[in-house]
Amino acid sequence: MIVIKDRPAIDAMRIAGKLTGQVLSAVGDIIKPGITTAEIDTFCEEYIVNTLNARPASKGQYGYLYSVNTSPNHVICHGMPSPSEYLKKGDIVNVDVTVEKGGYIGDSSKMFCVGPVAQHAQRLVDITQQALYEAIRQVKPGSTLGDIGFSIQQYAETNHYSVVREFCGHGIGQKMHEEPQVLHYGRAGTGLTLEPGMIFTIEPMLNQGSRHIKQHKDGWTVTTRDKRLSAQWEHTILVTESGFEILTLRDEEFASFERY
């Protein structure tokens, strides 16, 4: 069942979303060559708990032991932080953060470049972010989930990248994962029609090579089967009466979007 949020729920989601964006803005200051992904996780957890007086919603969810996902290079998603995984100059890494405040959850992820990176890696990061933005601009009452998926797939494939199909965006609120599922591929004009009060994530994952994945034995880590690079960006989106509002929007993105 799709939960249409009322005004109090939307206000609570705005708070959770804003805090989620703040974590991703703060953690960028420590992501440098030589840091471990476990140190990123520790920083985020301490920031969420001690600075924001909130809770890392991922910790304990489905048995997950950490506060964030850290997914470098050819890791598509669900990378688990490790004290033996050191980031080096030229790496790209996705940090996926969830924050629960007042019973509601925000969910967002951002790509970070560790020092200067190769041009082809930077291009993948930039195109994936733009694919997210293209999809967000489809969000308004009367649009469909197919419009969102189509816009991502078209933009990605026009730029010679593939779209991971095994994972998708999702409704979010008091639970981290609610209906609907938000696919990152599809046909325009198909699927669920969007209504004001819907809140969901859009989180495209684009690969340099094949879209095919490898699920690792730890039950979490997912990598590209061909070991080529992957990138992901994610925001939590509210459908408003006239368009959209990005609940996890970070300060550096204000120039890219108007509030609707």
| The predicted structure's pLDDT at residue 255 | 73
Domains along the chain with CATH numbers? 7-256 (3.90.230.10)
Longest alpha-carbon distance in the chain: 48
pLDDT tens digits, 57-77: 999 999 999 999 999 999 999
**What distance in Å separates the CA atoms of residue 251 and residue 107, rounded to the nearest whole number?**
16
Which amino acid, one-letter code, is at 193?
A: T
55, 117, 187, 229 from 206: Cα distances, Å: 29, 17, 18, 9
pLDDT tens digits, 125-163: 999 999 999 999 999 999 999 999 999 999 999 999 999
Q: Strand, helix or coil at 66? A: coil
pLDDT tens digits, 210-255: 999 999 999 999 999 999 999 999 999 999 999 999 999 999 897 7
pLDDT band at 260 (very low <50, low <70, confident <90, very high): very low
Q: Which two tokens stand for residue 108?
A: 């967002």
